[in-house]
């Protein structure tokens, strides 16, 4: 059956509190990240992701303190991201207790950072997050293509999703966290076609993100999208899908999942 598929709650942190939006905007509060993380750990989440979504200097300090609190109180692996631009940022967060780091904009700007992290700390520490949007642009002759975005989805690049994911793997990424901006917070399901292509073309694990609205969407991410893990936020934060219920459902559907 292969490795067990993972369920990963994602906590976007701003000014020390968890927030959630739709299509990367319209943020609302979802509670204390450490308390939420503890609750998810008790419920059976396999891993957690904490993202510092504003990452200015002062907030970065607050975020590091939060990482230390999380490490002290939570016994499942967790990844942290946001504002990581150099090895010293990685070192600071790993020293605070994180298991992995997630890099996005910095990796697009300077891909060598992936190699540096992998060489210094090991590939398993380096998660390359890709925020991508499928759209029609004049330069694609009317063909819908997936483009990667910088700065929390605010700035489009010329990077193609699949080409960039390949390069990230070649440079030493341990996992790809793919968020479809088209699907984020809309709760209509994950981008399964793109996920299936990523999973088929790459040898490292793919984490699906963006679009979870019901238990069936998680099943589709694993069966149609062949994702190794499924990440979600609002359906967990606001109690719409209890994790134990979700895992039992997936198990009953024949998906290898840790109960």
Active site residues: 12, 131
| Plot region of 53 (φ>0 → left; ψ -120 to 50 → alpha; else → beta) | alpha
Tokens of 168: 């990230």
Residue 120's Cα: distance from chain center in Å? 22
Angle between helix axes 112-121 and 87-96 (nearest 10 degrees) is 40
The token duo for 247 is 């895992």
Q: How far apart are CA 48 and CA 92, in angstroms?
A: 18
Q: Which of 52, 38, 47 is nearest to 8 (CA)?
A: 47
Rg (the chain; Cα; Å): 17
Expressed in percent and rounded to 5, the helix, strand and coil fractions of the chain are 40, 30, 30
- Cβ within 8 Å of residue 52, ≥6 positions away: 13, 14, 59, 60, 63, 80, 81, 82, 83
């Amino acid at each position: 059956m292969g490795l067990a598929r993972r369920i990963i709650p994602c906590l976007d942190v701003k000014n020390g509190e968890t927030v959630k939006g739709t299509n990367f905007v319209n943020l609302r509060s979802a509670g204390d990240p450490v308390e939420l993380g503890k609750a998810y750990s008790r419920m059976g989440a396999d891993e957690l992701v904490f993202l510092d979504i504003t990452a200015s200097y002062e907030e970065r300090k607050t975020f590091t303190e939060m990482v230390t609190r999380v490490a002290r109180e939570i016994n499942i692996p967790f990844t942290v991201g946001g504002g990581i631009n150099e090895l010293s940022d990685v070192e600071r967060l790993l020293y605070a207790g994180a298991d992995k780091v997630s890099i996005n904009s910095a990796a697009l700007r300077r891909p060598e950072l992936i190699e540096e992290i992998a060489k210094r700390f090991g590939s398993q520490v380096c998660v390359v997050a890709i925020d991508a949007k499928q759209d029609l642009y004049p330069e694609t002759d009317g063909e819908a293509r997936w483009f990667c975005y910088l700065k929390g989805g605010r700035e489009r690049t010329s990077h193609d999703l699949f080409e960039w994911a390949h390069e990230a793997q070649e440079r030493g990424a341990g996992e790809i966290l793919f968020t479809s901006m088209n699907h984020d917070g809309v709760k209509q399901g994950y981008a399964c076609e793109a996920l299936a292509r990523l999973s088929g073309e790459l040898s490292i694990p793919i984490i699906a993100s963006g679009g979870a609205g019901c238990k069936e969407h998680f099943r589709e991410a694993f069966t149609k999208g062949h994702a190794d893990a499924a990440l979600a936020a609002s359906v967990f934060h606001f109690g719409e899908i209890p994790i134990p219920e979700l895992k039992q459902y997936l198990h009953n559907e024949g998906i290898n999942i840790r109960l």
